[in-house]
Amino acid sequence: MNICYNQRPWADLREELLNIISSNLNIADYLSIGRVCRSWRLFNSEYEDGFMASKSPLVIHISSQAKKACCFHEIATGIKYKTMLPNFICDFKFCLGVSGGYLIMKDTWSQKIWLINPVTGRQFQFSRVRKLSDNIRFSSDRAIFASTGSQDQDFVVVILSCRNQNLEFYTSRNNQWKEYSFKLKNWHILDMVVFCGRIFAITNHSQIGILDLRNFDLKFLTLKFAPRVSSNVRLVTSNNNILIVDYVNVNMIKVYSINVKKMEWVVMNNLGQHAVCVGDGGIISCKLIDPTKWGGQSNCVYVLLNDGCHIHSLKNGEVKTIRKWRWDDKTRMYSWYFFSADNVRGFD
């Protein structure tokens, strides 16, 4: 073996070279370079957010035919990834949502809430008081998981059940479950989102309220000119505002924001360089994205359906399909999947 003593070891590669290497990698390979050595792991951690922002959103898909396998599809390139889930996940029946990089599931027998990161394997478990209504799962049930403070340990899990007419939420600071009931005739909460450490909700009467986590009261904003919304309306957070996406079907989508000064709804016909990801289904996660970083189309709505990914232009209402697929009858769930700071190292 000939040894060249002038060569530098892999761990000492300059940051400029690592940038060149990483810019040509797919997501799975990029997550793998952090396993090479300590210096590469530090590089991976420092530039991970920027790298993930340069990639298109992923679609997560779980089928009962592929036991323990969780599949991901990159919509821009069509690249597929796979990761393995823990054994107990194979028996789960109900996925309530995909939020903050976690699958939110309800255990069929114990009614415990499980949060599992399909990339890292990190998981949380929260016990709940069993109710008679827990024996049935309705399609209107959905859940979110989000940070409520500057520290990682401050978070909230919120479960919305339109059929049972209540909001259940677990706060890490109080380490307990609380409930807000709204048993009113012809009145329902359709969606909720965590924004600036508070829970915002929207009703079927186009009311937008803020849930006070201290006294468990829902206070509504006094807004003018509120339009009638469909049952599939979704709340999406932006950098400094909340967007309301009223999704009827792929051809009928409207996006609104709230003008705080005038306290009224405003139709958003131009999102600038941004776009919104939504879908047809309660558990599908929604998010405001910047598609210009990976060559996607801006000022539009990316719609995830069971036959593929479609784009609805907010400029002219034109709809086009960018990726086709057909989920089988064994599909347990599918949703958008967005990386968070906790999503590291786990793809095969």
Q: Which of 11-25, 28-42, 125-139, 188-202 has the lowest mean pLDDT?
A: 125-139
Same domain, 20 and 123: no
Residue 136 shares a structural domain with residue 177: yes
On whether both 190 and 323 belong to a single domain, the answer is yes
Tokens for 284?
Answer: 């599908």
3-state SS class at 15: helix
Task: Tell whether 46 and 79 lie within a shared domain.
Answer: no
**130 part of a folded domain:** yes
Q: Is the pLDDT reported for residue 344 higher than 50? A: no
Is residue 220 domain-resident? Answer: yes
CA trace torsion 144, 145, 149, 153 (10° rounding)? 160
Same-domain pairing of 107 and 243: yes
- What's this model's pTM, rounded to 2 decimal places? 0.86
More confident residue, 7 or 68: 68
As a whole number of angstroms, the distance between CA 276 and CA 301 comes to: 5
The CATH number for 34's domain is 1.20.1280.50
Count up the domains in the chain and report the number. Answer: 2
The pLDDT, as a whole number, for residue 110 is: 64
* Residue 259 falls inside a structural domain: yes
Tokens of 168: 């259940």
Amino acid found at 49: D
On whether residue 1 sits in a domain, the answer given is: no
Identify the band that residue 4 occupies on the pLDDT scale cut at 50, 70 and 90. low
Question: What is the domain range of residue 37?
Answer: 7-54
In tens, the pLDDT along 100-134 reads 888 888 876 666 788 888 887 788 887 766 554 55
Q: At which of 54, 71, 93 does a domain end?
A: 54
Half-sphere exposure of 125 (CA within 13 A, CB side): 8
Query: Is residue 55 helix, strand or coil?
Result: coil
Backbone angles phi, psi at 106, to 5 degrees: -110, 125
Q: Are 250 and 310 in contact (CB under 8 A)?
A: yes
Asked if 134 and 144 sit in the same domain, the reply is yes
Give the CATH number, domain containing residue 223: 2.40.128.630
User: Is 238 contained in some domain?
Assistant: yes
Q: Which residue has the tokens 């999102």?
A: 271
The pLDDT assigned to 119 comes to 81
Mean predicted confidence (pLDDT) in 197-203: 88
Please check the confidence at residue 141 and state whether its pLDDT lies above 90: no
In one-letter notation, the amino acid at residue 125 is Q
Q: What's residue 313's pLDDT? A: 96
Query: Are residues 141 and 235 located together in one domain of the fold?
Result: yes
Q: Does 104 map to a domain?
A: yes
Asked which of 31, 54, 77 is the last residue of a domain, the reply is 54
Residues 143/159, Cβ–Cβ less than 8 Å? yes
**Comparison of pLDDT for 342 and 311, the residue scoring more:** 311
Shared-domain flag, residues 11 and 85: no
Does 347 map to a domain? no
Query: Among 231, 282, 283, 227, which residue's Cα sits nearest to residue 255?
Result: 227
Indicate if 179 and 274 belong to the same structural domain: yes
Distance between CA 42 and CA 36 in Å, rounded?
Answer: 11
The last residue of one of the domains, among 21, 36, 54, is 54
Q: What is d(CA 60, CA 120) in angstroms, rounded to the nearest whole number?
A: 15
8 A C-beta contact, residue 14 and residue 39? no
Q: What whole-number distance in Å separates Cα of residue 341 and Cα of residue 46?
A: 11
**Mind giving me the DSSP string for 281-313?**
STT---EEE-GGGGT---SEEEEEETTEEEEEE
40-49, 123-132, 214-223, 266-275: which range is least confident on average?
Answer: 123-132
Same domain, 102 and 18: no
Please tell me whether residues 205 and 127 are part of one structural domain. Answer: yes
User: Which pLDDT belongs to residue 136?
Assistant: 47
Taking the C-alpha atoms of residue 48 and residue 340, their distance in angstroms, rounded to an integer, is 10
| Residue 173, domain member (yes or no) | yes
Identity of the amino acid at 180: Y
User: In terms of domains, do 135 and 28 share one?
Assistant: no
Confidence at 265, pLDDT banded by 50, 70, 90: very high
pLDDT at 90 over 60: no
